[in-house]
Chains A and B, each alone.
Chain A
Amino acid sequence: MIALLGLVLGVVAGLFLEPTVPTWMQPYLPIAVVAALDAVFGGLRALLDGIFDDRVFVVSFVANVLVAALIVYLGDQLGVGAQLSTGVVVVLGIRIFSNAASIRRHLFSA
C-alpha cells in the first residue's frame, strides 16, 4: 500500500515539478526506468512467492539501474550505443514479461 502510494507520489512529483533532465543523464534515464521497472516486477513476484526481502529489493533495484546505465555508457563509447540500448531493453522486457507471468499465476492461478 505504501509502495503504491510512493509510486503515485513519485509520478505526481515528476509531473508537477517539471524538472529538466540533465544532459549527461539523458541517454541513461529511459534505460534506467526500464531496469527499475524490471526490479519492481521482480520484487512483486518475490512478494507473492513469499520471499520478499527489502535488502535484496534495494540491491537489485540499484544494481539493475547501474548495470543498465553502464551498458549504455559502454555502448556509447564503443559506437554501438543505439544497438546496445535496444538489446538491454529487449532483455529487460523479456524479464518483465516472465515476472508478470509468474505474478499472474499467483494471483489468478492461471
Chain B
Amino acid sequence: MTGPADPVQPVEPVEPVKGRARLRSALHPRATRAQVVAALLCGVLGFAAAVQVRSTQDAGLSGLRQTDLVRILDDVSERSARLQAEARELEETRDRVTGDDDQAALQEARDRTRVLGILAGTLPARGPGIRLTITDPEGEVGSDVLIDALQELRDAGAEAVEVSSVDGPAVRVVASTSFVDAGGPGSGAGVEVDGTVLRPPYRFVVIGEPGTLASALEIPGGVLEVLDQRGAQGVVTQEQSVEITSLRAAASPRYARPAGAAGDADNG
C-alpha cells in the first residue's frame, strides 16, 4: 500500500513507517487491485451485516432453532386452548343472554335481584320455617348464645333470619349483623343487634327447611341445651309458613365497586 505502482506490499522492517502515515496513504483513493478487492469484500461484509440486522429486527421465527420452535409451539397451542375455552364460555353466555329475546335476560336479572334482595335483607320473605322463642328470666342469655344460635341456624340452611324481642322491635339479620351485650356482658340488660336494643324474651323467625332447622337446635350440646344450662328456655315451633317483614336498608358501598360482569345484578 506504500508504493502506488506496487500492489503487493513488500515488508519493510528496516524502515518503519508510522501507522498513521500508512492509513493516510491508504485513504487516498487509488484504483489499485488491493483497494478494489478490499472495497469489494468490505461491501460484501456491509451488505451481509445490513441484511442480517434487518432480518433480526423482523424477529421472525425462521431464524430460531428447533428446540426454541418446539417450546414456542407448545406455548402457543396451550394459549390457544385456553382462549378457545374462554371463547366457548363467552359464546354460551351470549347465547343465553341474547338467544331467545331480551325477556329472558330481564327475567334472569330480576330473579337474581330477588335472590340477592332476600340475602341482603332488602326484601320481605315468606316461606316454611321455624320460630325460636327464648325466655330468659335470669338474664343469663347474652350475645354469645344468640350468635351460637344464629350460626347453628345458618349451618342448617337458614335463608332469611329475623331476630326480635317478643312484642318488641325486630331486626333483619344479614351477613354484617352484629350482636353486642347492652350494658356489658352478663348485665342482663338485653342485647344490642345492629344498634337496636332487644330485651328478652327473644324470638328468631327463620325461613328454611323446618325439620333441619329444628333438629340443628335440638342436637345434644346444641343451643337448646345451653339455654337449659343457663336457666333459660328455648321453644321451637315448626311452621309451614312464616313471614319476615323487617327490612334492612341497602347500603351502597363507599369504596367497593363491582368488578367486571359481577355488576349486572342490579340491572333489573
What residues make up the interface of A, taking CB atoms closer than 8 Å to B?
Answer: 1-15, 18-21, 23, 26-27, 29-30, 32-33, 36-37, 39-40, 43, 47-55, 57-58, 61, 81-82, 103, 105-107
Least distance between B10 CB and chain A CB atoms (Å): 9
Contact B48–A33 (Cβ < 8 Å): yes
Interface of B, helix, strand, loop or mixed by DSSP = helix
Q: Within the complex, which residue of B12, B30, B43 is in contact with A6, where a contact is CB–CB below 8 Å?
A: B43
What residues make up the interface of B, taking CB atoms closer than 8 Å to A?
Answer: 1-2, 7-9, 11-12, 16-20, 22-23, 26-31, 33-52, 54-56, 62-63, 65
Contact B46–A9 (Cβ < 8 Å): yes
Residues of B within 8 A of A8 (CB): 46
Complex CA gap A5/B11 in Å reads 26
Q: Within the complex, which residue of A4, A33, A39, A43 is in contact with B52, where a contact is CB–CB below 8 Å?
A: A33
Contact B42–A10 (Cβ < 8 Å): yes
Q: Within the complex, which residue of A6, A30, A50 is in contact with B9, where a contact is CB–CB below 8 Å?
A: A50
Contact B55–A26 (Cβ < 8 Å): yes
Contact A2–B38 (Cβ < 8 Å): yes
Q: Which 4 A-B pairs have the closest CB atoms?
A: A14-B50, A10-B46, A106-B19, A6-B39
Q: Determine the residue in chain B with the shortest Cβ distance to A26.
A: B63
Contact A3–B39 (Cβ < 8 Å): yes
Complex CA gap A2/B98 in Å reads 73
Contact A7–B45 (Cβ < 8 Å): yes
Residues of A within 8 A of B40 (CB): 6
Contact B51–A19 (Cβ < 8 Å): yes
Least distance between A18 CB and chain B CB atoms (Å): 7
Least distance between B247 CB and chain A CB atoms (Å): 71
Residues of B within 8 A of A52 (CB): 1, 9, 26, 34
Residues of B within 8 A of A2 (CB): 29-31, 35-36, 38-39
Residues of A within 8 A of B35 (CB): 1-3
Given A36-B41, A52-B34, 18 more contacts at CB 8 Å? A2-B30, A2-B35, A3-B26, A4-B42, A6-B43, A7-B42, A8-B46, A9-B43, A10-B47, A11-B49, A14-B49, A18-B54, A21-B55, A33-B52, A50-B2, A55-B8, A57-B41, A82-B65
Contact B45–A36 (Cβ < 8 Å): yes
Residues of B within 8 A of A47 (CB): 1, 22-23, 26
Q: Determine the residue in chain B with the shortest Cβ distance to A60.
A: B41
Q: Determine the residue in chain B with the shortest Cβ distance to A48.
A: B19
Least distance between B26 CB and chain A CB atoms (Å): 6
Complex CA gap A20/B55 in Å reads 7
Residues of A within 8 A of B62 (CB): 23, 26
Contact B26–A1 (Cβ < 8 Å): yes
Least distance between A108 CB and chain B CB atoms (Å): 9
Q: Determine the residue in chain B with the shortest Cβ distance to A85.
A: B65
Complex CA gap A12/B12 in Å reads 37
Q: A1-B29, A21-B51 are in contact. Are A10 and B1 (CB under 8 A)?
A: no
Contact B37–A57 (Cβ < 8 Å): yes
Complex CA gap A47/B48 in Å reads 23
Complex CA gap A6/B48 in Å reads 13
Contact A11–B33 (Cβ < 8 Å): no
Contact A48–B52 (Cβ < 8 Å): no
Residues of B within 8 A of A29 (CB): 48, 51-52, 55
Complex CA gap A39/B54 in Å reads 22
